[in-house]
Amino acid sequence: MLSEAMTALAAAGGTALVQAAGTDAWTEFRQQVARWFGRGNPQRENAAVGRLDQTAVLLETAGPTEVERVRLGQVAAWQARIEDLLESLDGTEQGQAAEELRALLAQHASQGEGSAGQGGLAVGGDYGSVAAGVVHGNVTLGRPADGHTSPGPENDPDDDWPRES
């Protein structure tokens, strides 16, 4: 049985893999993860590449109504694979593999890749906080070109929210 920290690492790994699939960072990240799974064995590395490619295809071809279910299923599958590999190693090897995976995930995160499925929003980089949501329609960021501004809370006649003065 894995420690809580190892289980959390496996969960982070599964999430990172699924989020990276289909992004610009995928090819390099995929190869690094396959090498991690292979642990020096070319057959295991090739098998991991095949599973990683299958994940990317499943996510890419999932329809709008099934994409979240597929995404969650793939995160769980990769978490389980990572846990299985870590459990198969003895104490020293397990610690080394965990450190390698942490470094791999940190390197991937530092590249500032953001990704999202259909209708989603993701932000990557060194940010203090991130908000995300589903947007239906167009989104414009910045000041409108025509100079029009929306009324703020201080001058909105329909806003009856109590304020401190």
Query: Domain spans of the chain?
Result: 4-110
pLDDT tens string for the chain (165 positions)? 889 999 999 999 999 999 999 898 999 999 999 999 999 999 999 999 999 999 999 999 999 999 999 999 999 999 999 999 999 999 899 999 999 999 999 998 887 544 444 444 444 443 333 344 444 455 444 445 555 554 555 555 555 555 555
Q: Quick one: pLDDT at residue 2?
A: 87
Q: Quick one: pLDDT at residue 147?
A: 55
Q: Which residues of 90-125 are buried (b: 16+ CB within 10 A; e: fewer)?
A: eeeebeebbeebeebbeebeeeebebebeeeeeebe
Q: Quick one: pLDDT at residue 114?
A: 47
Q: Given the structure tokens 């991130």, which residue do they identify?
A: 130
Q: Quick one: pLDDT at residue 60?
A: 94
Q: Quick one: pLDDT at residue 146?
A: 54
Q: How far apart are CA 139 and CA 77, in angstroms?
A: 34
- Is the pTM higher than 0.75? The answer reads no
